[in-house]
Amino acid sequence: MRFPVLIMASILAVLLAAAALPARAETVADVEAAWRGWMTKSGRTTGGLAVMHRGRLAHQAVMGVEAAGNAVPLASLSKAVTGVCVAGLIDRGRLAFDTPLSQALARTFARLGPPADPRMQGVTIGQLLAHRAGFDRSDGGDPVTDRLATYLRTATATRPSIDEQMKWVLRRRLSLAPGERYAYTNATYLMLGAVVEEASGQDYESYCRNTMLAPLGVRGAALDPAWRILASYGGWRMPLSDYGRFYQAFAANNPAIGPAARRWMMSPEGKQTGGGAHYGLGTMVRPTPEGGNFWHWGAWTFTLDNAFDGHLNISYATFAVRLSALDVNMVVYMTPSRGDADATRNDLDNALGAAARKVTRWPSYLP
């Protein structure tokens, strides 16, 4: 009977020794694994990931034909660039959240003609930022992007053409009373691009790049040469790591957003979108004790034969999320765009967040 006792003693010793070993450290590589799993599940083979920790690049990965560090188009992630740029103008006293367009775009209206809907004169900067200007894509489509195909048959996409697009918006009747409810459109952030130009006296791209992006350490940002027409609502292009550096602007006490603009951004009053979230400064916001979670999706699919610029064919999607409790920003680029349903998008958000929260050992930072 001694032999079984010896076996049991040996097994017990092995189990006790295993229990004494430290658990496997969860690393940022697990964030990459979560991203790759979602990419495979969603049927994509090409894309990129950048993970920032405490404002510095901690990890990056690519799939398919992408190369790490390449500049990529960002679609609607560009709206946050515009939002923070406008916040800077507010912090400098050149604008206020309650400034009406009758003041903010006085010279633009004089040049292009007044809005067809007189209510547009009273729309405020804050209402534009929060997508509460009165436009509604469910009533007549997006005032900007629904006109692009016709325009691009005879004109180039390589110029911002903010004035030309503003003419389309100014002819549009508002579907809702300004401030009535949240309704996401590209028109509001096109108009904010015009506001930046009028308030700064500079072109939108140069002002935002030099005044806001460069101080955040962003060096590879520019409007996409082939799609500069998307400008302030969808036109920025930069490496994912640079967008992660920019997204650090949303960290509490980051000077890129001053105290007054930050208070407005974090307050849900008049900005709610549902589910405990609201929209402020070009990104979704959910306040938390640690400073808030921030996120946004972008996507651009456009095909046009016989366009002025030749055959146009592009399809991609983007996603950025900041988890303030971890001081982590994660940015994703993927092709093609598949018109992902909310459930599919939530799967990626949840997978990245769960993996990041389990990290127990962050790596040395990359150059």
* Angle formed at CA 332 by CA 326 and CA 336, multiple of 5 degrees: 160
- Tens of pLDDT, residues 231-253: 999 999 999 999 999 999 999 99
Q: Which residues contact 206 (CB under 8 A, 6 or more apart)?
A: none
Q: Are 251 and 55 in contact (CB under 8 A)?
A: yes
CATH class of 25-358: alpha beta
β-strands 293-307, 236-239 pairing:
unpaired
Annotate 14-35 with b (16+ C-beta within 10 A) or e (fewer): eeeeeeeeeeeeebbebbbebb
- Tens of pLDDT, residues 114-164: 999 999 999 999 999 999 999 999 999 999 999 999 999 999 999 999 999
Indicate the domain borders of the chain. 25-358
- Tens of pLDDT, residues 49-67: 999 999 999 999 999 988 7
